[in-house]
Structure 1
C-alpha cells in the first residue's frame, strides 16, 4: 500500500493544531495524530487529529481508539479528499456520536477551522463557529491557537 503524499499546507496545519492543542488540553485528555477510530464493524477511518480521553490509552502498541473515547475529530481538507472530508466522514463521525468535529479548509495558505457540535436531536453536526486567524473557543475545552503562526512553520 502506498501513502498519498500530503501538501505542505496539510502537514503545517496539522502541526499547528497539534501543538496548539497540546498546550491547552486538560490533563485528562490527549491529542493523537493519524490514528484509526473504530466506528463500527466495517468502519475504521484515520482522522488527521483526534482528542481522546487519557483513559483510552491502553498500550504503546495500540493502533486504534473506540469512538466513545473520542471527544474531537479534526480533518484537514486536501484536494484529493475534498468530498470524503466534507461529506462522508462527518456523517460517519456523527453516526458514531463523536461530540465535536473540526473541518479545516485552506484559504490561500491559511487555515480556516469550521467547528461543529453533535446534535442529539438530529443526530448530525451543527456549526458552532468559523475561526480565521485565531481559534479561540471554550467548547469542548479551552482552546486558543494563533492560526497565522502557520506562516512560521
Structure 2
C-alpha cells in the first residue's frame, strides 16, 4: 500500500472547510466535502449515468424560466463542513462564469443520478443534508431495467426534512420549482431504438 499524497491530509485537526476545496488544485475533478472529509469520485462513470445527466441538463435548461441557471457537477456550499457536488442543480442566480459553488438559498432543485458507488450518499446522506440546508426540491434518479425512475421530494419547511411527493416512471410533470415536463424513457435512448 502506498502512502497518501501530502495534499490529502486535512489542514487542521478538525478536518477540511468548504472554502478549502477552491485551494486544492491537486484534487480529482469531482471532489466533494462531506462532514469535513474529502470524498473522491474514483469509479469510472457509466455511459447511462453520463447520458442521463447530459439529457437532464439540456431538457431543464430549455424549460427553465429567465433567471434560473441549470448546471452540472457544481458544488453547493451547505455550511462550513459540507460542499457536496450534485449531478445537476437549478438555481435562481445570475450567470457567473467564475462561480465554483452555489449557496443553498439560491438552489431550487438538486438532482442526483444514483450510481453504485454513490447510492448510500444519494439515498440517505445527501437527502438529509440538502433538506437541512433548506433546498426546496430534490430528485433522486434510479435506473430500473434501463429506464430512469425519478423519486421526487419536497421540503417540509418547519421540520427541515424531505417528504416524498411522487415516483415518476415514463413521464414527469411538475410545477415545482418551475413548470417541467420530461419524457423519461426518451432521455437516454439506446442506439438500437
Give the structure-1-normalised TM-score: 0.93
1:151 equivalent to 2:189? Answer yes
Pairs within 5 Å for 1:1-153:
1-2=27-28, 3-55=42-94, 57=95, 59-149=96-186, 150-152=188-190
1:99 and 1:117 in contact (8 A); partners too: yes
Please give the alpha-carbon distance, in whole angstroms, between the structure 2 residues aligned to 1:139 and 1:63: 25
Does structure 1 retain, via aligned residues, the 8 Å contact 2:139–2:151?
A: yes
Secondary structure in 1 matching 2:117: helix
User: Which ranges in structure 1 are unaligned for 5 or more consecutive residues?
Assistant: none
Distance 1:152 1:146 in 2: 14
Residue 4 of structure 1: how far off its partner (Å): 3.1
Higher helix share: 1
Provide TM-score, normalisation by structure 2: 0.74
Of structures 1 and 2, the larger Rg is shown by 2
Per-residue deviation, 1:72: 0.4
Query: Aligned-residue CA RMSD in angstroms?
Result: 1.4
Which range moved further: 14-23 or 94-103? 14-23
Structure having the larger proportion of residues in strand = 1
More deviation in 65-74 or 11-20? 11-20
Higher RCO, Cα 8 Å, sep 6+: 1
Kept in 2, the 8 Å contact 1:71–1:99? The answer is: yes
